[in-house]
Amino acid sequence: MKLIIAFSFYFLANSIVAQQCSTGQIAYYSSCLLFIKTPLEFNTANSICTGFSGSLVSIHNAIDNRNVTSYVQHYTNGAFWVGAKTISQDVTNPTNWYWTDGTKFNYQNYQSFQPISQGSTSCMQVLPGTGKWSTAACSGTVLPFICELPSLIAQTCPSHCPSGYTWFAETDFCYKNFVQQSNFNDARSVCQADGGELTSIHSQNENDFLVQLSKTGLIVSDDGWVDQVWIGFIFVNQKWQWTDGTNTTYVNWGDGEPNKMQTEWWAVLNADAHQGSNTEASKWNNVGQIDERAFVCKRAALH
Ligand SMILES: *[C@@H]1O[C@H](CO)[C@@H](O)[C@H](O)[C@H]1NC(C)=O
Ligand SMILES: *[C@@H]1O[C@H](CO)[C@@H](O)[C@H](O)[C@H]1NC(C)=O
């Protein structure tokens, strides 16, 4: 009897929980779909999804296509990324395409006169209204996107990062953009209290990932404090050093930076260059420490 009760509880719990998705998400196979409205390049969008232990969505038949597009219609009429990519110029051959989640590319729903090669790589966008597919340049095109994420029950499995942090596979570190106004010292204290440091940056890819990460969800204000985010780069003992103790292996100063070296011994990343005339997108700038900005913390991944 106990066994029967245990079993029926098991099946009941499974049937209720297996489909569970967070608010704003919908069930899709054993996963959940999450629409992310921030327009990003294809690879960055996919790394945001992998940071949540998922990937860009894959579509395998007309019903999937309808389910995905009708979900997106709640949010936008504009094109969005799905997880199909090819590194072949022969885009008409389905075997040259793959889904970033590793599933087979076994269904297409192209718009007329598609697919068209975008060069050495092509990625797939879908229009919610028609559900029709077309290619877009993987780099240079920024679109909202859909992540296919583990359902809540699967999310109890260990993940790479603490909640709120995004994992970047290439560095195997976790990052979080704190959208709160802080001077350098306060920002650094917040990172340390959270088990990390203000971020260090060691490659162009890590830099570009951080530019995208620190753009997501930002409120644009007139004083431009979200324009630039604090990074852990400081001028001490006559040299620029990372506060996390890692070596300076890469720098990405903007034109004419660092300047005003009598007083400006702290550094920021220009996450959003649409404000302020002297900000160059994705470059670094040296500044004084008291201005209040958002900041990015970096900490070890959970394994
Ligand atoms: C698509 O939507 C239908 C109707 O809501 C649903 O029954 C089906 O399970 C969905 N398909 C997937 C793969 O989630
Ligand atoms: C950092 O630089 C020092 C001095 O050049 C070197 O000895 C050390 O191995 C480097 N550390 C790493 C992690 O690369």
Q: What is the pLDDT of residues 4-18, one digit of tens each?
A: 433 333 333 333 334
Dihedral over Cα of 51, 53, 55, 57: its sign: negative
The answer, yes or no, to whether any atom of ligand 1 lies below 6 A from the CB of 67, is yes
Q: Which has the closest alpha carbon to 73: 141, 27, 131?
A: 131
Rounded Cα distance between 27 and 251, Å, is: 43
Query: Cα(81) to centroid of ligand 1, in Å?
Result: 20
H/E element, 48: helix 42-51
The answer, yes or no, to whether any atom of ligand 1 lies below 6 A from the CB of 26, is no
H/E element, 189: helix 184-193
pLDDT for res 166:
83
- Compute the average pLDDT of residues 30-39: 88
Q: Which atom of ligand 1 is nearest to the CA of 28?
A: 14
pLDDT for res 224:
44
Q: 291 phi and psi, to 5 degrees?
A: -65, 145
Report the b/e string of 108-124 with b at 16+ CB within 10 A. Answer: ebebeeebeebeebbbb
Q: Where are the domains of the chain?
A: 23-150, 166-300
Q: Tell which phi-psi region holds residue 195, choosing left (phi > 0), alpha (psi between -120 and 50) or beta.
A: left
pLDDT exceeds cutoff 70 at 30: yes
pLDDT exceeds cutoff 90 at 121: yes
pLDDT for res 227:
67
The answer, yes or no, to whether any atom of ligand 1 lies below 6 A from the CB of 28, is yes
Q: What is the band of 119 on the pLDDT scale with cuts at 50, 70, 90?
A: very high
Contact assessment for residue 199 and residue 246, using Cβ atoms and an 8 Å cutoff: no
Number of alpha carbons in the 13 Å side-chain half-sphere of residue 48: 30
Kindly report the average pLDDT of the chain as a whole number.
Answer: 85
Query: Is 23-150 assigned to CATH 3.10.100.10?
Result: yes
By CB neighbour count within 10 A (0-12 exposed, 13-18 middle, 19+ buried), where does 175 fall? buried
Rounded Cα distance between 164 and 173, Å, is: 13
Q: What is the pLDDT of residues 188-210, one digit of tens each?
A: 999 999 999 999 999 988 998 88
pLDDT for res 264:
95
CATH number, domain 166-300: 3.10.100.10
Hey, what's the torsion of the CAs at 179, 185, 186, 188, to 10 degrees? Answer: 60
- Compute the average pLDDT of residues 144-155: 79
pLDDT for res 78:
95
pLDDT exceeds cutoff 70 at 96: yes
The answer, yes or no, to whether any atom of ligand 1 lies below 6 A from the CB of 63, is yes
Rounded Cα distance between 188 and 198, Å, is: 6
In the structure encoding, which two tokens stand for residue 297, read together? 């913390």
Query: Cα(149) to centroid of ligand 1, in Å?
Result: 16
The answer, yes or no, to whether any atom of ligand 1 lies below 6 A from the CB of 193, is no
Residue 104: strand, helix, or coil = coil
Contact assessment for residue 30 and residue 140, using Cβ atoms and an 8 Å cutoff: no
Query: Cα(282) to centroid of ligand 1, in Å?
Result: 41
Query: Cα(247) to centroid of ligand 2, in Å?
Result: 6
Comparing 44 with 245, which gets the higher pLDDT?
A: 245
Contact assessment for residue 293 and residue 230, using Cβ atoms and an 8 Å cutoff: yes
Domains 23-150 and 166-300 share a fold: yes
pLDDT exceeds cutoff 70 at 173: yes
pLDDT for res 158:
55
- The predicted model scores a pTM of 0.53
DSSP state of 55: E
Query: Cα(242) to centroid of ligand 2, in Å?
Result: 13
Contact assessment for residue 206 and residue 231, using Cβ atoms and an 8 Å cutoff: no
Query: Cα(20) to centroid of ligand 1, in Å?
Result: 14
pLDDT for res 302:
87
- Compute the average pLDDT of residues 34-47: 88
| Residue among 60, 67, 72, 101 whose CB has most ligand 1 atoms within 8 A, to mutate | 67
- Compute the average pLDDT of residues 54-83: 95
- Compute the average pLDDT of residues 205-220: 72
